[in-house]
Amino acid sequence: MEVSYKWLQEFIELPESPEEVGKLLTGTGLEVEGIEKIDAVPGGLEGVVIGEVLTCTKHPDADKLSLTTVDVGAEQPLPIVCGAPNVAAGQKVIVALVGATLHPASSTGTPAEPFQIKKAKIRGAASEGMICAEDEIGLGTSHAGIMVLDTDLPNGTPAARYFNLEADYQIAIGLTPNRIDAASHFGTARDLKAVLNRPLRMPSIEAFTVNDTSLTLDVRVEDRAACPRYSGLTISGLTVGESPDWLKQRLLAIGLNPINNIVDVTNYVCHDLGQPLHAFDADKITGGQVIVKTVAEGTPFVTLDGIERKLTATDLMICDAGKPMCIAGVFGGQNSGVTSQTTRIFLESAYFSPTSVRRTAQHHGLKTDASFRFERGTDPNMPVYALKRAALLIQAIAGGTVTSDVTDLYPSPIEPFRVLVRYRNIDRLIGIQIDRTEIHRILNALDIQADEQSPDSFVAVVPPYRVDVTREADVIEEILRIYGLDSIPLSTNLSAESLSEFPKTDPDQWQSRVGQLMAANGFYEILTLSLTRPAYNDAIRPTLSGADVTLLNPLSDELSVMRQTLLFSALETLLYNINRRQKDLKTFEFGKVYRKDQQEDGTTRYVEQMRLSLAMVGNQQAESWLQKSQPVAFHDLATAVQRVLNLFRVKTVETQPADSTLFQYGLTYIVNKKPLVSLGLVHPNLTRLVDLKQPVFYADFDWAFLLKQTSAKTRYEEVPRFPEVRRDLSLVLDKAVTFEQINRLAHQTERKLLRSVNIFDVYEGENLGGGKKAYSVSFTLQDPGQTLTDATIEKTMQRLMSVFERDLGAVIRK
């Protein structure tokens, strides 16, 4: 929904800027999604001011030019060369200053090219501005001479103020379905009234009079459930034509195109007060009757868009004596609307049942400004006021007289909602105790009256236009949104009744997420037995922390103990598939391992733990003409492990060599001094136990410990605006020095600027000497606050090289 800043100012005093008003509205729950400046004319006459011609003489070298000095409110008058025949000393004129961009009007109807005013010399005379005609500033098409003003405004006053063409601002509000009460400028101003504690200025209808009753129609409502209130009047002797500029500007400011003065008034009042109206050509109403009723199923009806629709038996229609004229609250008919020949109208203002309008609008697929409001619930007390307001506007811009009494059929008035509100619940739900006087000020400002007051409670009398305030919690929400969420102290200890408890980590859900991740990366899930061979546990006995759990009555000696690792289950699965010519495999498994621990008191404690294992064997991908197959390598497994860690937001890990009993080479990732995952190439001694000849890469996660990492908080940072810089070093080191040592030492040395360290080449050769290797390492540097200078980069790299030489014995090769 769009509202106009200047239009809002008609209802309430707003010295605040549009941006400040936007913040206030968002704070009350009317979330502002954007604010756009709307110029009354292109360019908004920016840089165009009122000036006074002080002197005017003929140009010595041009008969049709004059040399003038013009006071524009600056320290010195401006010299301006003017070619208009009517320029003279003492005139108040419109002056475009140097730098202003003018958008001239075109007599042909096609937009003229804008141009900028610059300092110039015309026939040798300096000119520092331009005295303007009306076409040159886009306010007309006349170019007969400059505009001469009759005004006492001081020199230098912006021309936009003189012409009342100051810019408006379109405020886009993301209106939620429950806040239909705010779907107008009046409704929006009501929230500002409450939050700013300022009075509203309502349009006066005191001038409304009935001139005569010469065009009185017989108005009847047959379906009172669908139309609880229906009002109308007639206006005769009007002239349909173009709307005045002020009305067109109001509609354009909220994105509506003007049509004619009658339709524009109905649209204006709809967005002004939130009450949809409809104007019928009274001469097209047969029989002098207006009947609100349903018609037979399948009755054809042509709407304003020229489409014939088949009506249902539940569609509420506005009919005359012989035919339907309008789908009530939704869309008008083609043959009853206002045209340029219309001189008499019947003006309708009603309250229709939201259910009826919603059902009809949904069935016919029609969404209009009227149906948007009616189907959510308009104010049943607004129709007559809006009707008189519209009648006065129509008379002011289209002429005519009111030629009937106001018909108002409202046999069963809709009563306000009565809601019992207890102060203790206000305190409990908001979290603090708000002064009782402030509570009632807020409610009164929102037109919610307090009845049956006592020290503990009161009855809130809610006007029927607030269709969303029907419960005690709704009334409390009204208090809170006007009091302001920002006014609630952050230290408030809200009870569990106010905030839902965050759910605990669900292992099954995380297991499903990891499974999906692995499957998406080409891994197959396996499920294997928890029983295993005793020889398997014996082969890795040095790595086990407890004794085997043995079966009391095993089916065979081969399956007589519970497994203490998932490794051999994975190896046997790989062997089974390889024997069936499936040689390129990636598997994962969630499974439990078991052991028993001897306690200090001599008792035995049985332990079972959930683990996650990954295994890879064969080639990275199947054989293809497009790409040569490459065998699986350690970095392929490390990449898969890293994807799991990324899923759990594990960022900071330390590494150490993996256990040599299990791995020929590999790493163990440490988090908070506890092993999280071990990965590497499985030791050939273990693969031989299952008769597996291919090299196998394997990773083993502590699943319970991994789940604990889900509590890690996510931290967001702004994308750096300044470029990063890369510098490379070649380090000759002892073979015992690992890249992890280089990486750790680099980050310890430079914590602010160093973003990443990467090794892109490793070399070993006789020319380096025995026991030596060369690392080619890249360092990425970046300062989030400024562009790095060469001096800063050089100083940082020198510090890193010094530390590598001192702590790692590195030789730097340039």
Phi, psi of 242 (to 5 degrees): -75, 145
Q: Which amino acid is at 800?
A: L
Question: Hey, is 665 helix, strand or coil?
Answer: strand
pLDDT, tens digit, 9 for 90 and up, residues 537-577: 999 999 998 899 999 888 788 889 999 999 999 999 999 99
Q: Which of 566, 583, 763, 755 is nearest to 678 (CA)?
A: 566
Q: Are residues 545 and 612 both part of a single domain?
A: yes
- The answer, yes or no, to whether residue 156 has pLDDT greater than 80, is yes
Q: List beta partners, residue 125.
A: 122
Contact 292, 260 (CB under 8 A): no
The Cα–Cα gap between 655 and 566 comes to 22
The Cα–Cα gap between 798 and 796 comes to 5
User: What is the phi-psi region of residue 97: left when phi exceeds 0, alpha when psi lies from -120 to 50, beta otherwise?
Assistant: beta
**Tokens 């009494």, residue located:** 405
Is residue 133 domain-resident?
Answer: yes
Q: List beta partners, residue 81.
A: 67
Number of separate domains in the chain: 6
Q: Are residues 627 and 517 both part of a single domain?
A: yes
Domain of 47?
A: 42-162
Q: Which amino acid is at 210?
A: V
Q: Say which DSSP state 807 is in.
A: H
**Any residues with CB less than 8 A from the CB of 349 and at least 6 apart, and which?**
231, 232, 275, 277, 382, 383, 384, 386, 387, 390
Phi, psi of 51 (to 5 degrees): -130, 170
Summarize the confidence of residues 770-780 as an average pLDDT.
Answer: 91
Q: Does 468 show up as a binding residue in the annotation? A: yes
Contact 617, 575 (CB under 8 A): no
Q: Are residues 591 and 730 both part of a single domain?
A: no
Q: Are residues 313 and 178 both part of a single domain?
A: no
pLDDT, tens digit, 9 for 90 and up, residues 740-764: 889 889 999 998 899 999 989 988 8
CATH (domain of 18): 3.30.56.10
Summarize the confidence of residues 318-333 as an average pLDDT.
Answer: 93
Is residue 495 domain-resident?
Answer: no
Summarize the confidence of residues 179-192 as an average pLDDT.
Answer: 94
Question: Hey, is 188 helix, strand or coil?
Answer: helix
Question: Hey, is 273 helix, strand or coil?
Answer: helix
CATH (domain of 745): 3.30.70.380
pLDDT at 39: 80
User: What is the phi-psi region of residue 672: left when phi exceeds 0, alpha when psi lies from -120 to 50, beta otherwise?
Assistant: left
The Cα–Cα gap between 205 and 396 comes to 13
Is residue 297 domain-resident?
Answer: yes
Q: Does 717 show up as a binding residue in the annotation? A: no
Phi, psi of 676 (to 5 degrees): -105, -45
Q: Which of 810, 725, 749 is nearest to 776 (CA)?
A: 810
Q: Are residues 543 and 645 both part of a single domain?
A: yes
C-alpha 595: how far from chain center: 53
pLDDT, tens digit, 9 for 90 and up, residues 202-252: 999 999 999 999 999 999 999 999 999 999 999 999 999 999 989 998 998
The Cα–Cα gap between 397 and 399 comes to 6
Q: Quick one: tokens of 105?
A: 């009007």
Domain boundary among the residues 711, 737, 753 is at 711
Q: Does 740 show up as a binding residue in the annotation? A: no
In this structure, how many other beta carbons lie within 10 angstroms of the beta carbon of residue 439?
22
In this structure, how many other beta carbons lie within 10 angstroms of the beta carbon of residue 634?
15
Is residue 716 domain-resident?
Answer: no
Q: Quick one: tokens of 258?
A: 């003007």
pLDDT, tens digit, 9 for 90 and up, residues 622-676: 777 887 888 999 999 999 999 999 999 887 788 889 999 999 999 999 998 899 9
Q: Quick one: tokens of 71?
A: 């006071």
pLDDT, tens digit, 9 for 90 and up, residues 108-144: 655 678 899 999 999 989 999 999 998 888 888 788 8
Q: How confident is the model at residue 495 (pLDDT cuts 50, 70, 90)?
A: very low
The Cα–Cα gap between 292 and 666 comes to 84
Contacts 24+ apart (CB under 8 A), 640-645: 640/518, 640/521, 640/523, 640/586, 640/614, 640/616, 640/699, 641/614, 641/669, 641/677, 641/679, 641/699, 643/517, 643/521, 644/514, 644/517, 644/612, 644/677, 644/701, 644/706, 645/669, 645/677
Q: Which amino acid is at 805?
A: E
pLDDT at 713: 61
**Tokens 């009632």, residue located:** 440
The Cα–Cα gap between 794 and 789 comes to 9
State which H helix or E strand residue 140 sits in: none
Is residue 808 domain-resident?
Answer: yes
State which H helix or E strand residue 34 sits in: strand 32-38
pLDDT at 35: 93
C-alpha 323: how far from chain center: 47
Helix, strand, coil % over all residues of the chain, rounded to 5: 30, 30, 45
CATH (domain of 83): 2.40.50.140
Q: Which of 259, 205, 209 is nearest to 233 (CA)?
A: 209
CATH (domain of 230): 3.50.40.10
- The answer, yes or no, to whether residue 77 has pLDDT greater than 80, is yes
Q: Say which DSSP state 751 is in.
A: S
Contact 200, 285 (CB under 8 A): no
Angle at 391 between CA 388 and CA 396, to 5 degrees: 130
Angle at 553 between CA 700 and CA 570, to 5 degrees: 20
User: What is the phi-psi region of residue 133: left when phi exceeds 0, alpha when psi lies from -120 to 50, beta otherwise?
Assistant: beta
pLDDT at 814: 62
Q: Quick one: tokens of 600?
A: 């200090």
Percentage with pLDDT > 70 across the chain:
97
The Cα–Cα gap between 749 and 751 comes to 6
The Cα–Cα gap between 598 and 84 comes to 109
Q: Does 206 show up as a binding residue in the annotation? A: no
Query: Distances from the Cα of 176 to the Cαs of 173, 469, 473, 573, 703, in angstroms?
Result: 9, 14, 18, 57, 44
Q: Are residues 386 and 253 both part of a single domain?
A: yes
Is residue 448 domain-resident?
Answer: yes
Total-model pTM: 0.58
Q: How confident is the model at residue 177 (pLDDT cuts 50, 70, 90)?
A: confident
By DSSP bridging, strand 696-702 and strand 754-763 are unpaired
In this structure, how many other beta carbons lie within 10 angstroms of the beta carbon of residue 346?
26
pLDDT, tens digit, 9 for 90 and up, residues 358-411: 999 999 999 999 999 999 999 999 999 999 999 999 999 999 999 999 999 999
Is residue 85 domain-resident?
Answer: yes
Q: Are residues 475 and 596 both part of a single domain?
A: no
Q: Which of 490, 405, 421 is nearest to 457 (CA)?
A: 421
Average pLDDT, the chain: 91
Summarize the confidence of residues 262-276 as an average pLDDT.
Answer: 96
- The answer, yes or no, to whether residue 502 has pLDDT greater than 70, is no
The Cα–Cα gap between 302 and 73 comes to 61
Summarize the confidence of residues 431-441 as an average pLDDT.
Answer: 92
CATH (domain of 565): 3.30.930.10
Angle at 595 between CA 589 and CA 597, to 5 degrees: 150
Is residue 511 domain-resident?
Answer: yes
Q: Are residues 651 and 516 both part of a single domain?
A: yes
pLDDT at 107: 63
- The answer, yes or no, to whether residue 738 has pLDDT greater than 60, is yes
Q: Are residues 242 and 274 both part of a single domain?
A: yes
Q: Are residues 235 and 142 both part of a single domain?
A: no
Q: Are residues 554 and 672 both part of a single domain?
A: yes
Q: Are residues 351 and 260 both part of a single domain?
A: yes
C-alpha 474: how far from chain center: 25
State the burial class of residue 614 (Cβ atoms within 10 Å of its Cβ: 0-12, 13-18, 19+): buried
The Cα–Cα gap between 176 and 614 comes to 49
**Tokens 């009648």, residue located:** 391
- The answer, yes or no, to whether residue 183 has pLDDT greater than 60, is yes
State which H helix or E strand residue 247 sits in: helix 245-253
Domain boundary among the residues 120, 139, 162 is at 162
Q: Which of 585, 614, 609, 616 is nearest to 514 (CA)?
A: 614
pLDDT, tens digit, 9 for 90 and up, residues 504-520: 668 899 999 999 999 99
Could you write out the DSSP letters of every residue in 492-548?
----TTTSPPPPPP-HHHHHHHHHHHHHHTT-EE----SEE-HHHHHHTGGG-SSB-
State the burial class of residue 359 (Cβ atoms within 10 Å of its Cβ: 0-12, 13-18, 19+): middle
